[in-house]
Amino acid sequence: MNNLNRRDFIRNGLLLAGAGSLASFHYMNAMPSSSFVYPIGACDWSIGKTSDPDAFRLAKELGLDGIQVSLGTAKNNMHLRQPQIQQEFLAASRSSGVRIGSMAIGELNNVPYKSESITQEWVHDCIDVAQVLGCKVILLAFFHHGDLRNDPAGKAEVIRKLREVAPKAEKQGIYLAIESWLSAEEHLEIIEGVGSSHVRVYYDVANATEMGYDIYREMKLLGTEYICEIHMKENGQLLGQGKVDFQRVRDTLKDIGYRDWLVIEGAVPSGGQMFPAYIENRRFLAQLMNA
């Protein structure tokens, strides 16, 4: 099946089943274009607050609208699975006015989804946690030990496990978003293999640029049908001062009708400090995307 036919197959078949849930996922698309403002957030790990409710206080100081929250780490046994910890995060969000934009299981980079059985428990539980926290997207990370490049057996196991958990995600209206070193076409192959409207892509503009992919073509190929959320990222530079052409990113996102979270990751100059860097990164994005 060629790339265009594969995309048509998924769009016309698999996503038809999820048409009802698309309305809730793209709730911001219902806003008049004249009044829409992109919400800007950051990963909790990027501001030094991995799975820490203090991330909300810091995010407020940085002027951010939201936080991408980590489920936890292997060391703390994914502590956001505990109801008491969930309530601490919800209270921190309310008191700061900073929203929970999405969740992430970054520990999958060290404890790979493709090979470790405990990870399926984490994903199952994270779906429940996301529902409690009121967000719709869970980033599943596939880097370092979880890398899927040149690993057909690993891809096959990921597809098998996602097939098993996807019905729960569909029922609860949660989207499982793959972030990896793979190309857009390879992501679509996984989505096709799973056969679920609730398995999508978490697109990272810097990672894809590092791999040599044409990110503007990829984002158009994937579109809002498959892109859950965006990492606005740069490696070792402030946003707008590195390899990624963020004006073209802006134009591409507007072309495909993406109107959801912009989540800052990385983007601290070598030897620089996080706080002033994120003040500048937020200002840059707000000026560029919401002018």
Least confident of 140-144, 198-202, 224-228, 287-291: 287-291
For the cut 80, the answer to whether the pLDDT of residue 166 exceeds it is yes
Per residue in 21-65, pLDDT (tens digit) is: 443 344 344 455 557 899 999 999 999 999 999 999 999 999 999
The token pair at 7 is 């995309």
pLDDT of residue 25: 45
* pTM reported for the whole predicted model: 0.91
Residue 155 CA, chain-centre distance (Å), reads: 19
pLDDT of residue 35: 78
pLDDT of residue 15: 45
178: nearest Cα among 105, 110, 283: 105
Split at pLDDT 50, 70, 90, the class of 8 is low
pLDDT of residue 7: 53
| Three-class SS state of 140 | strand
Give ∠ CA 205-208-214 in degrees, rounded to 5.
Answer: 95
- Taking the C-alpha atoms of residue 44 and residue 48, their distance in angstroms, rounded to an integer, is 6
Question: Dihedral of CA 262/266/270/273: which sign?
Answer: positive
Give the 3-state DSSP-derived string for 42-101, with helices as H, strands as E and coil as C. EECCCCCCCCCCHHHHHHHHHCCCEEEEECCCCCCCCHHHCHHHHHHHHHHHHHHCCEEE
Least confident of 18-27, 185-194, 195-204, 239-248: 18-27
Q: What is the mean pLDDT of the chain?
A: 92
- Taking the C-alpha atoms of residue 211 and residue 204, their distance in angstroms, rounded to an integer, is 11
Per residue in 168-179, pLDDT (tens digit) is: 999 999 999 999
pLDDT of residue 270: 93
The Cβ-side half-sphere exposure at 99, using a 13 Å CA radius, reads 13
pLDDT of residue 34: 58
